[in-house]
Amino acid sequence: MHDRPLHGVRVLDLTNVLAGPYCTYHLMLLGAEVIKIELPGRGDLARRLGPDPELNRAGLGTSFLAQNAGKKSIELDLKDEAGRATFAELVTHADVLVENFRAGVLARIGFSWERLRTLNPGLVYCAISGFGQTGPMSQAPAYDQIIQGLSGMMSVTGTPDTAPLRVGFPVADTVGGLSAALAVTAALAGRQQDGRGCFLDVSMLEASLSAMGWAVSNYLVSGVEPQPMGDQNATAAPSGTFDTADGPLNIAANRQEQFETLCRLVGRPDLIDHPRFADREARKLHRDELNKHLNDALRRRPALEWEQLLSAAGVPAARILTVAQAVAVDQVVGRGFVTELPLPAGTPAAVRDRTGTLRVSGAGVLVDGEPLTPPAPPPGLGEHNADLPELVRRWRGAR
């Protein structure tokens, strides 16, 4: 592979926990040099978050390990005069600054956008927060679950009997991080026109609403409020989870020809011309009856057989896997999505004996046919403190 797309881009990372670190992790995978600025002796809160108490005590919590490979860690206290002076020097020569403090925190310690762009007119400054830097909720604290609830996401997750339910992973954090990474890369491209940076104000709430797609657009465009439908897809039928001889199977026969092919393959061609199932709108109105017919037919074979048969015929279908099964799928393994790295410095001996290596996820993107993988394990807190003078000299020279 040639140099990655963001090779040579210098990023200062003041982020914590997930949304911000997820953003800068993707910038690193795309080739940026990411310097993580951490509070001396404490660092990113994610260093103490995860299911392994030994790693948490060592400041290498699983949540931190997952989003910080390939970065460098330098301890700076921005409430200290010397720390602020060093940070100002780094800002002068950086391309990007990313933080996810509550709105206005960085300004209150002396680094408002006005000062930052005076220090470096070409700086791309990205502030990620729960609700954005303006508005009546800008000072409210927010974590993923708070955003899931406020966005309406939980109201459409589950069934009419079980909703509202939290989505089973921190989707608001990751969507916020991805939105920020997209905005940063767009701003870097725009800077090539006139050399000027910009201030990016990323709201996790708004990013989550945007990512909800038809659940929001159906209401905005047509005034139809979405309802929780469990494992069924409101936009088409048959589209959802179905029964087989040995477990559930997802089928998304969203097009007419896919529906007709499905009916033939399950041995129910009579359903094709049935007046209650003949077209998309009719099938949506009579979804429960159609699903009953299909479930009865699908129970004759195991899920894997149906997956292979239907997929080969152009009908989207697949089993429902656990996370452990998903990361072991040949398709995922063959594309190099998971990278195996040495365990970081400071990993407890008991953990080293138990695991030996660290596995982290990639970006789901191949560049020139190669996966984007981190070049190094996550850093220990302050691991690169001694490198700071050389780093400043190098960044100064690059400008």
pLDDT of residue 338: 96
CB-facing half-sphere around the CA of 302: CA atoms within 13 A: 3
Catalytic residue among 3, 80, 173, 273: 173
CB 24 within 8 A of CB 1: no
Long-range Cβ pairs for the range 132-137 (8 Å, 24+) = 132/103, 132/201, 132/202, 132/203, 132/205, 132/206, 133/103, 133/104, 133/201, 134/103, 134/201
DSSP 271: G
Q: Quick one: tokens of 80? A: 């200290």
Quickly state the pLDDT bin for 399 (edges 50, 70, 90).
low
Helices 19-29 and 171-194: crossing angle in degrees, nearest 10, is: 50
Residue ranges per structural domain of the chain: 10-212+332-398, 239-243+248-319
pLDDT of residue 354: 87
Quickly state the pLDDT bin for 353 (edges 50, 70, 90).
confident
Over residues 230-253, the pLDDT tens digits come to 999 988 999 999 999 999 999 999
Quickly state the pLDDT bin for 350 (edges 50, 70, 90).
confident
Over residues 96-143, the pLDDT tens digits come to 999 999 988 999 999 999 999 999 999 999 999 999 999 999 999 999
State the average pLDDT over residues 369-394.
94
Please provide the average confidence, as pLDDT, over all residues in the chain.
95
State the average pLDDT over residues 370-388.
95
Q: Residue 290 above 70 pLDDT?
A: yes
Q: Please report which helix (H) or strand (E) contains residue 330, including its range.
A: helix 330-334
| Residues contacting 177, CB < 8 A, separation 6+ | 18, 19, 20, 21, 22, 23, 25, 26, 128
Over residues 166-200, the pLDDT tens digits come to 999 999 999 999 999 999 999 999 999 999 999 99
pLDDT of residue 349: 87
Over residues 9-37, the pLDDT tens digits come to 999 999 999 999 999 999 999 999 999 99
d(CA 16, CA 14): 7
Q: Is 77 a catalytic residue?
A: no
pLDDT of residue 335: 96
Residue 217, phi then psi, degrees to nearest 5: -65, -35
Quickly state the pLDDT bin for 94 (edges 50, 70, 90).
very high
**How many DSSP H helices and E strands does the chain contain?**
18, 13
Question: In the CATH hierarchy, which fold is given to the domain comprising 10-212+332-398?
Answer: Rossmann fold (3.40.50)
Quickly state the pLDDT bin for 1 (edges 50, 70, 90).
low
Q: What percent of the chain has pLDDT over 90?
A: 94
Quickly state the pLDDT bin for 357 (edges 50, 70, 90).
very high
State the average pLDDT over residues 258-274.
96
CB-facing half-sphere around the CA of 313: CA atoms within 13 A: 21
Over residues 293-308, the pLDDT tens digits come to 999 999 999 999 999 9
Please state which of the four CATH numbers 3.90.330.10, 3.40.50.720, 3.40.50.300, 3.30.1540.10 is assigned to the domain occupying 239-243+248-319. 3.30.1540.10
* C-alpha gyration radius of the chain: 25
Query: Which SS3 state, helix, strand or coil, does residue 11 take?
Result: strand
Listing DSSP states for 278-300 in one string gives: SSHHHHHHTHHHHHHHHHHHHTT
Q: Residue 2 above 80 pLDDT?
A: no
d(CA 73, CA 35): 6
d(CA 57, CA 154): 33
